Chain A
């Protein structure tokens, strides 16, 4: 069965620190990869996605993620976090054609101290 693993459950950073959140998936075939974010009191929303092409994808608010096929990884990065990045971050995989069914990781709570 497909699964997604996020290594860090809770990350605390100071403003301007760099961020990297790990995500690994288990599926040998073609996958589409996503990062979703949930800000306090708000809905889940899409941060960025990878389908094909350049393995380094850029999303909203300065976030980027790199797909490394050999490592089954899709880590999320941001060079300099802001207090407003405090949120919960979810990695997700879609591994079935013609369906948007998503398999999510357990999430990482990011707390940015001002």
Chain B
């Protein structure tokens, strides 16, 4: 079946611009996670959703970052006033439930470059 998809695959934007990154989880998966992976590092947790609500947003670096999942399926990560330090691969993962018992399936990521 279809896996997790993310669009766009690449995004180049200028410093100070606003960007939206989209994640389509596997159908039926109630939990959705966002991670950020900087060059040479492992993925870093940003936020996760259980259904429509953000259950834990402790990893969002500052208030320029925001994510939504209005219908409990597709999620959008929004970054305002982008900075060069925001350049990274943004990964989305989904799972059947929120506990660690459920395997997280990762998408291909969106590579964001802020110039």
Contacts and interface: CB of A to CB of B under 8 A. Distances in A.
B55 A99 contact: yes
Interface string B98-110: 1111111111110
B41 A101 contact: no
B51 interface: no
**Secondary structure dominating the interface of B:** loop
B103 A46 contact: yes
Given A32-B100, A90-B42, A100 B48 contact: yes
Interface residues of B, number: 30
B67 interface: no
Interface string A73-114: 000000000000000001010100111111111110000000
B99 A101 contact: no
A104 B98 contact: no
18 contacts: A6-B42, A32-B100, A43-B108, A49-B103, A51-B101, A97-B99, A99-B48, A99-B98, A99-B99, A99-B100, A100-B33, A101-B33, A101-B56, A102-B43, A104-B35, A104-B43, A104-B44, A106-B42
Interface of A: 4, 6, 32, 43-46, 49, 51, 90, 92, 94, 97-107
